[in-house]
Amino acid sequence: MEIILATHNKGKIKEFNELAKGTELNFIPVPGNLTFPKEIGTTFFENALIKVNFAFSLTGKTCLGDDSGLEVDALNGKPGINSSRYSKESTDESNMDKLLNELKGIPHEDRSARFKCCLVLIEEGTNKLISSEGTIEGKVAEEKKGDKGFGYDPIFIPEGSLLHTAEMDQKKKNLISHRANAFGPLITKLLSGPTEK
C-alpha cells in the first residue's frame, strides 16, 4: 500500500520507510514541488493536519502528515511547535545555541524535556482521519555531542541512556523515537479495518 508523505524532505521519506519495514506500506513524497502552506497551527496536531490536508487536496490518495518538536519544561514547553524556527537564523546550530543559552545555570535534574510527534493520516476512499501522538522523554544536555541525526539530537539525552541522540545510529534511534512511538499505533489503527479508528 502506497502512502504519500506530506513532505519534500527525502530524509523523512527514508525514515518512514525504515519504520515501515516488515509491513506492506511504502512511503513516497508528495508529487511536484509546490510550497506547503504556512504552519499556522497552535498545536502539533493542527500543523500536521495543515500538511496532510494540503497533500490530500493535491492527490486524493492516502496521505500522512507529521509535525514534531522539542518541549522543555524549564521553558514552559518552548520551543515546541516553533522548534525548527526557534532562533533568528533557524539553523540546527543556532537553534541549539539559543536553547543552551536559555538553560545556562539550570542543573541537570531540572532540564527535563521531550520530543513529541503527531501523525495525521487521511485515508483514500473513506476520507477518514486517523491520528496518533508519540513522545520520548529525556533531558537537555549541557553541551553538544555526536554528529548523527538532525535538529536538537546533539543536545538531547533520552531517559535511561548515557548517549546523546546524535551519538546513536539511526536504527537505534528509530526503535525509541517519538516518531516510532506515534507510528506503531497509527499503523495498527490503519490496518485494523474500517471500525475503531
Catalytic residue among 67, 73, 92, 169: 67
Residue nearer to ligand IMP on the CB measure, 112 or 124: 112
Shortest CB 143 distance to ligand IMP, Å: 16
Q: Is 153 in the site for ligand IMP (CB under 6 A)?
A: yes
134 scored as a contact of ligand IMP (CB under 6 A): no
Which of 3, 19, 30, 83 lies at the binding interface for ligand IMP (CB under 6 A)? 83
Based on the shown chain and the rule CB under 6 A, indicate whether residue 15 belongs to the binding site for ligand IMP: no
CA dihedral 134, 137, 139, 144 (to 10 degrees): -40
Judge whether 122 and 95 are in contact, CB under 8 Å.
no
Binding status of residue 181 toward ligand IMP by CB under 6 A:
no
Nearer to ligand IMP, 153 or 167 (CB): 153
Rounded to a whole number of angstroms, the minimum distance from the CB of residue 74 to ligand IMP is 18
**Phi first, then psi: what are they for 86, rounded to 5°?**
-70, -40
Output the smallest distance, CB 85 to ligand IMP, in A.
Answer: 8
CA distance 62 to 33: 18
Give the whole-angstrom CA distance, residue 22 versus residue 6.
22
Q: Judge whether 128 and 122 are in contact, CB under 8 Å.
A: yes
**What is the nearest approach in angstroms of ligand IMP to the Cβ of residue 45?**
12
Q: Is 68 in the site for ligand IMP (CB under 6 A)?
A: yes
DSSP secondary structure of 124-162: TTT--EEEEEEEEEEEE-SS---SSSSTTGGGEEETT-S
97 is catalytic: no
Peptide bond into 194 cis (omega under 30): no
Enumerate binding residues for ligand IMP (CB under 6 A): 66-70, 83-84, 95, 115, 149-153, 177
State the catalytic residues. Answer: 67
